[in-house]
Structure 1
Amino acid sequence: MAILQSALLSGRPVAQAEASRSLPASLPTTIEVARVVLVIGLVFLHYFSFPNSRVSPFTGFDPDQHSFATFVNSFILLFFFSAVPLLSTISGWLFFGLTDHPLQTIARRMRGRIVSLLLPLITWSLATIATGFVLHAIAPTTGLLGEFRFDFDEPSLFGLLDGIFGLTGLPTAFQFWFVRDLFLSVLVSPLLWLILRHAPLAGVAVLGASWVCDFTFGIFIRTDVLFFFFLGGFARMRQVPLNISWSTTKVLLVSYALLMAARALAPLWLDPTTPPHEDMLDLATRLARPLGVVACWGLCLRLATTQLGGFFARYGGFAFFLHASHFPIIIFVKYLLWSLVPAETDTWMLAHYAASVAVTVSVAALGAAVIFRLSPSLYAFLAGGRRFV
């Protein structure tokens, strides 16, 4: 508990407060860089479709209308499918950096994650639902309400719990499915630790198979977080080397980028919305994610040695806040800016795409700076126990 209190007062995350003493000097910087870069990638991902597009970027590009703009959107979305797996791997690696008393350490970290994961999840989700109620009161017929996945006309206690915790699907603040599943992974961490100690390869095989088959064990939204959290623990407990050379990283990045480009172009050859093709493409995209994890980690290792990486690392404490706050900000920014687009051309669509993300990040950063200035402790609570800078 003393470590948790110290972490909150200093703004450092619990995992960092407990593990940083044992990390190689370069790894904390790389981890902070990864958090910022990957969360910005998630903001791009959560732009979703262009307002004038009838095709979801999840299925690929639109070969009939605005093919270049929709290809870029789909490619970036597919590329950053590696974000949640890599963030989960980092979380597992930090969590399973255990001491001479592993069960006591696990129990302490589980309690710490109540403050750094569960309570922010509840708080931000309630704030998102409250925003939806305000929008419903002001403009009850607006199509933006559909983005909230909540029945504002007939709210109920179960609907509220479902909106917060994602009991039947994605939560209302949909980005918190990752935090939800990460917290559940932490809850089962004693079992994961036993598997890591006594049958690690069997654990990789079983959890890997469940991930490939999209088997959720009845409690997870997806098993991406659980599987890669376990892999992070495997890497930590088995002391897997984390360094990747820049030459190897470039090969991995190009390979991963080509695979995601091919996936985005899939509608040229088949209908990605029909069940056989949809399942095949989903499996292929899923199997490519480990490659994306390693490639993106290698890129972050490289960035950590640059001035840009130093800038990102300085604001590593903003990553959780940005992840928590970018929805619903991005939907309001997206449709507000769309009204300013002078022509629905590929160039203006991509300008709108970039501007929407840039404005969303800027608004979140401004909000973070104001909250941190007014109350560093409130910011630490909202940001999972971290400082703004």
Structure 2
Amino acid sequence: MTSLRFLLIVLVVFIHNCYTPQSIQRIIDNGDMPPLFVKNSFVHWVKIFITFGISRCAVPLFFMFAAFLQAKKNDSYLVLLKKRAKSLLLPYVLWMSILAFFYGGLKLIVARIAPQFLGHPENTCLTWTVLDWVHKVLGYKPNLDGSGFDFPEFAAQFWFIRDLMILVVVSPVTKALIKKFPAGFFAYAFTIFIIPVRMYFVETTAFFFYIAGLYWGMYDVPLFQKIDRIQWKEILSLFVISVIFAFTLGGGEHTTSHNFMVIFSCVIVIKFSAVIVRKEKLYSLYSYLAGFSFFLFAIHAPLVKRIYLKTVDFVLSDEEHILELVPIFYPDFLNNRYRNRNRDCD
């Protein structure tokens, strides 16, 4: 897990660097500045393979490794809750408090001093309802298209910690079901992930890969050895075919073909971890960078993005775009359309 932690976080950043016409429309509806959206077909497919493709293994693997380690340590429920309160709940509360000040307190100050820098200066924490706070801190706001529920508004990426906390709390029931119905419960979790079926309190992807991690740890499945037997050409071929099919005939994200692609991407990255472990210098580098993983995860959006847009973006005009391909390899906060200085303020 150490060899993959930083790499997986970088892939999470890439995930947040992918935009579609639908996601851009939601950004505009929220009053935010739309990102640079490249229409070039080559760039479009590069983005698909990176941000909709291989990067989609990142969060599933985090859930699977977390559940595996939980199963192997086999702590008592009380000890488990104490550990997760320190490693999950405390960081969640801390960062949400920082973001609440960023969006709430800091916005009140700016609204008084320089309201022209705000898109909606009238919308402050003083006007938020209790339900608004729930949506901002925890999420669960129904999507307008009826496709499910939104992520925490303060920092969407924190849905991972939210769902992991919930899954840890209910893990005694989950483990009991696994022991009682080992084949049937796995088949159930796999089916609702592949179809896919939307769940309410946790994402279906989180549920399935957490269950898979528990099976892995509880039954000592030799996962790495099994994956190591798979040939690179075999798994890469399956991945490429699944990506092309998912985004041509398969319907795109959150479809059966896309979810098979997610599994193939997980196999690729787990197989790649063996390469990292075998290279001593490479493993040392990844182990060192792993210490910065959570900080990058927490700060890459929205804090850095917002600060960047408000302090740097006004310097560049619409004619000064970076080469089309370059923004694909930049974090989310660098992949935004540069506002025209002559455009009217929001």
Instruction: Say whether the fold is shared (TM-score over 0.5).
Output: yes
**Match 2:238 to one of 255, 274, 278:** 255
Cα distance in 2, alignment partners of residues 157 and 90 from structure 1: 35
Contact 2:63 2:213 in 1 (8 A): yes
Contact 1:249 1:299 in 2 (8 A): no
Cα distance in 2, alignment partners of residues 325 and 291 from structure 1: 29
Matches for 1:39-188 after TM superposition, within 5 Å: 39-49=9-19, 54=21, 65-79=39-53, 80-98=55-73, 102=74, 105-133=76-104, 134-135=106-107, 137-138=109-110, 152=125, 154-168=127-141, 169-171=150-152, 172-188=154-170
1:204 Cα offset (Å): 0.6
Q: 2:324 aligns to what SS in structure 1?
A: helix
Q: How many residues matched?
A: 305
Residue 58 of structure 2 aligns with an amino acid whose one-letter code is A
Which residue number corresponds to residue 201 of structure 1? 183
* Counterparts in 2 of 1:202 and 1:166: CA distance versus 1, 3 Å: same
Contact 2:177 2:185 in 1 (8 A): yes
Post-superposition CA distance 1:17-52 (Å, at most 9, x none):
xxxxxxxxxxxxxx1121111110111111233xxx
Q: Establish whether residue 350 from structure 1 lines up as the match of residue 333 from structure 2.
A: no
Residue 189 of structure 1 aligns with an amino acid whose one-letter code is S
Cα distance in 2, alignment partners of residues 115 and 176 from structure 1: 16
- Pairwise CA RMSD of aligned residues? 3.5
Contact 2:63 2:206 in 1 (8 A): yes
Cα distance in 2, alignment partners of residues 166 and 194 from structure 1: 29
**Match 1:245 to one of 212, 215, 228:** 228
Contact 1:333 1:356 in 2 (8 A): no
Residue 351 of structure 1 aligns with an amino acid whose one-letter code is V
Cα distance in 2, alignment partners of residues 64 and 327 from structure 1: 21
Cα distance in 2, alignment partners of residues 151 and 96 from structure 1: 44
Cα distance in 1, alignment partners of residues 15 and 109 from structure 2: 29
1:84 Cα offset (Å): 1.1
Cα distance in 2, alignment partners of residues 144 and 207 from structure 1: 43
Unaligned runs of 5+ in 2: 25-35, 142-149, 336-346
* Counterparts in 2 of 1:350 and 1:81: CA distance versus 1, 3 Å: same
Cα distance in 2, alignment partners of residues 253 and 341 from structure 1: 41
Matches for 1:223-238 after TM superposition, within 5 Å: 223-238=204-219
Which residue number corresponds to residue 172 of structure 2? 190
Which residue number corresponds to residue 310 of structure 1? 284
TM-score (norm 2): 0.75
Contact 2:252 2:258 in 1 (8 A): no
Contact 2:66 2:210 in 1 (8 A): yes
Residue 17 of structure 2 aligns with an amino acid whose one-letter code is Y
Residue 188 of structure 1 aligns with an amino acid whose one-letter code is V
